[in-house]
Amino acid sequence: QVQLVESGGGLVQPGGSLTLSCAVSGSLFGRSAMAWYRQTPGKERDLVARITSGGVTNYPDSVKGRFTISRDNAKNTVYLLMNSLKLEDTAVYYCNARVTTGQLIGNSYWGQGTQVTVSS
């Protein structure tokens, strides 16, 4: 029903900044909570940031104060602004949508992921 496409990943030096984008196709964006997760080889996916359909955000302590999630409902796009990047931020970053209302409530959709590498 929904397709998510991440972009904006790449190589950045420690202390640098990067902005990820996730474009969402379909009509479910406005009814979905959006989130960014990240995963390194052999590890589980960890929540990086979440924003509800109403704009409420939450972050784990590991990124709080450095990362900012935002959404543009007119563009069906969610963003992740990453500042003061650290080596441990290196991972594949995934966009996720969870439907919160309507017939498809509870459904979850994932993007393919985009690589972020923090290295000197």
Q: What is the pLDDT of residues 53-106, one digit of tens each?
A: 999 999 999 999 999 999 999 999 999 999 999 999 999 999 999 999 999 999
**Per-residue model confidence (pLDDT) at position 86:** 98
- 112: closest CA among 88, 91, 92? 92
- Number of other residues whose CB lies within 10 A of the CB of residue 103: 7
Q: Which residues of 40-78 are buried (b: 16+ CB within 10 A; e: fewer)?
A: eeeeebeebbbbebeeeeebeeebeeebbbebeeeebbb
